[in-house]
Amino acid sequence: MAAPYKTFTAEDLVQLRNICGVERVIAREDIGEDYCHDELSGTYRCPDVLVKAMSTAEVSAVMKYASTNNIPVTPRGSGTGLVGGAVAVFGGILLDLSGMNHFLELDEENMTLTLEPGVLLMEVSKFVEERGLFYPPDPGEKTATIGGNINTNAGGMRAVKYGVTRDYIRALEVVLPNGEILTLGGQVAKNSSGYSLKDLIAGSEGTLGIVTKATLRLLPLPKYKISLLVPFPDLPAAIKAVPQVIRASAVPTAVEFMEREVILAAEQFLARKFPDNSADAYLLLTFDGTGKLEVEKAWEEAADICLKCGAMDVFISATQERNEAIWSARGAFLEAIKGSTTEMDECDVVVPRRNVAEFVMYSHDLQKKHEIRIRSFGHAGDGNLHIYILRDELDEKSWKSKLAAVFDDLYHKAAELGGKVSGEHGIGFAKRPYLAESLSEAEKMIMCGIKHTFDPQNILNPGKVISL
């Protein structure tokens, strides 16, 4: 890809090594293949140099050097993204923040946790839950970094009740492309002081600034949790029950849908049977709360609604071992689908809740139309779907053309229903054309203007989210 950037030289390598040391500045020939791609998107490019930053000061110094010398910089956490957001598509510096992985302060009075961006999501939940606290966002990929979660505004299953990552960010320390360090937000619960830049950074996919520290809002850990696995004769019946369940007195923590084919793939992948196989479609509901009776009342009400809506039964899972049987399967869906084919790509659209069934049925029909295998599961409660298009034995050419045709259909249908291109995985590199198509000219201009204000040289994660 041609780019208006300086060609990376041996002198640049020396200078960066002066900032971060020889060991943490890795020359191109020694960079592992894993740093050239992410988990899924097929976006591939080896960076010119890999820099493993260990402090805000280092990030700032690297950015100063990059901006003075016009070298592109791509920030990266665990590399678990699905849309190429952390791939250095213009080469240059890949700035690995996963080593900045320290907990800095737990403020129990303000119920906040301040930490570095490289802490893994699973470490965050373990750390706070051991202390009776709760960080609600719960994206499926637990080995993602919190920095990655902030940058994609990751959602996850508990979004129905608790919202998404952005809702839990109190403050951010951000290094701007010119190396300047900003602190956005603060230890305050309310804030009407000008434009909310921290909320803009959340979900900006590392294109506006580099998050080097975050203060997260915590809640008390709900003491009681229960999951309901609800079999339905078919998917439309299952999805039809969702609005009624959510409208009932207690909002469920999560509302997931799953279909038999995906469950079978997970069974095979895990070599473990799912606790039930009576139905073609299931809803998986969870409820949490601080009182046992409160949680019991909530789930019984939801169970009654499900039965009225045609559920075949409602199965109850209240213990660790019962939950494991269900959630290990749910957690393995992505890997299981991936394991069942040669290559795949995904569509992470979000549509209004009432249109989930229509959209999933539409994706089923596309299998016939395009003669390609498509699998899906997702968050029925918030309308965010994960639709996977599977290559199987297709040759490169027909795979690419069929994939493009399926994506066109899916994104058009989503737009028609009032949906958006990405619910939680972000736009990155792979979904840019679909975002561009979905935005009005005015929106595009504002977005480009924001990018230009933060990053006039376009050196920070260039080629992502929007095309300048």
| Interface contacts to another protein, rule CB under 8 A | 228-229, 272-276, 300, 303, 307, 313-319, 321-322, 325-326
Q: How many helices (H) and strands (E) does the chain have?
A: 14, 18
Residue number with CB closer to another protein (42 or 310): 310
DSSP letter at 382 equals T
**SS3 of the chain: helix, strand, coil, percent, to 5:** 40, 20, 40
Task: List strands edge to edge, sheet with 93-96.
Answer: 25-27, 49-52, 93-96, 73-76
Residue number with CB closer to another protein (276 or 358): 276
Query: Least distance from C-beta 255 to another protein, angstroms?
Result: 17
Residue number with CB closer to another protein (280 or 301): 301
The token pair at 412 is 């058009």
d(CA 268, CA 261): 11
Query: Least distance from C-beta 130 to another protein, angstroms?
Result: 11
C-alpha 342, offset from chain centre: 23
The strand pairing partners of 460, in sequence order, are: 73
Residue number with CB closer to another protein (32 or 194): 32
Residue number with CB closer to another protein (184 or 329): 329
Is 232 in contact with 283 (CB distance < 8 Å)? yes
CB atoms within 10 A of CB 104: 12
Contacts of 397 (CB under 8 A, 6+ apart): none
Contacts of 255 (CB under 8 A, 6+ apart): 160, 242, 245, 246, 283, 284, 285, 379, 380, 381, 382
Residue number with CB closer to another protein (275 or 339): 275
Query: Least distance from C-beta 32 to another protein, angstroms?
Result: 13
Query: Least distance from C-beta 246 to another protein, angstroms?
Result: 19
| E strand or H helix that includes residue 147 | helix 146-152
Query: Least distance from C-beta 283 to another protein, angstroms?
Result: 13
Query: Least distance from C-beta 279 to another protein, angstroms?
Result: 13
Query: Least distance from C-beta 102 to another protein, angstroms?
Result: 19
Query: Least distance from C-beta 317 to another protein, angstroms?
Result: 6
Question: CA–CA distance from 28 to each of 10, 51, 219, 465 (Å)?
Answer: 11, 11, 44, 26
Query: Least distance from C-beta 94 to another protein, angstroms?
Result: 23
CA atoms within 13 A on the CB side of 443: 8
Residue number with CB closer to another protein (103 or 224): 224
Residue number with CB closer to another protein (31 or 307): 307
Residue number with CB closer to another protein (225 or 364): 225
Question: CA–CA distance from 80 to each of 212, 213, 289 (Å)?
Answer: 18, 20, 31
